[in-house]
Amino acid sequence: MRVLVFGGTQFMGPYVVRQLLARGHDVTLFHRGEHEALPEVRHVHGDRARIPHGLDPELVIDMWCMTEAHAAAAKERFGGVRTVVLSSGDVYRNYDGLQRRWPGPPDPAPLSEDAPLREELYPYRDKAAQLGEWVREYDKILVERVLAGPRTTILRMPAVYGPNDAQRRFYDWIDAMRRGDEVIAIDEAMARWRWTRGFVANCADAVVHAAFDERAAGRTYNVGEPDAPADEEWLRLLTNIYKWSGRIERRPGLAPPLDFRFHLHTDTRRIRDELGWREHISRAEALGMTR
């Protein structure tokens, strides 16, 4: 099968591409040309707003659809083609609550795919100075709205962790353990906060699994581990992996001024029940590989 992958050169992308190659598919990567990983596949460089002609995929896996304009350009060129698009848990209203932009109470967690979505758009505009101007137009809610259809699968991804994680989830703790620090401090409110996570290889497997299961067409799924330990529980799991014998201390005021009553713990039962997807790498193995 001819598969077009948008993005796919970093972090989770190579795991997806290698699975596609192992299945015997003809893979093309469309990206900006900033990272030239995976020389074994065809690369096409370009702008998401001006997708070239000549690409004739039977399946599109869109790992870098960040704005309404990205989604509109993809729909114009590939409308009706089987598509899997990666979304995010930041679409849920609890994300606005976490950021203190929603005045109401937290929505009960775990959040199902039918849980309320944010009522304000463009959640990162206030962070453009740190993250780049492109985030001014970022919004996965708009991406979902544009691309939703009978041939599209929307995957709301968790906090993905693992080797080469540019966001360095867990790595501050791991670095402290490697140094042999005697104390690791954690914000007392964040210590109780729950956010669904997923190991990079397992999340990539979910993407490929959904792409080749016709039952996933027209459906939206939360992806991630079946439970969501609190942050301090994750820290304690890492102490066991790294044989760290220091002390964990809860302290106030270490985290940004977020409202940690609003959990981003999502319910991932739908993808398991409907598609039979399961992680193939255990949490203990995954944490051991997160070095």
For residues 210-216, give the mean pLDDT.
Answer: 98
Burial class (CB in 10 A: 0-12, 13-18, 19+), 285: middle
Residue with tokens 């848990």: 89
Is the pLDDT score of 187 beyond 80?
yes
pTM of the model: 0.96
CB atoms within 10 A of CB 162: 24
pLDDT, tens digit (0-9, with 9 covering 90-100), for 34-82: 777 788 899 999 988 889 888 999 999 999 999 999 999 999 999 999 9
Q: How far apart are CA 34 and CA 261, in angstroms?
A: 39
User: What are the chain's domains?
Assistant: 2-161+197-227+262-282 (3.40.50.720)
pLDDT of residue 239: 96
pLDDT of residue 291: 79
pLDDT of residue 38: 81
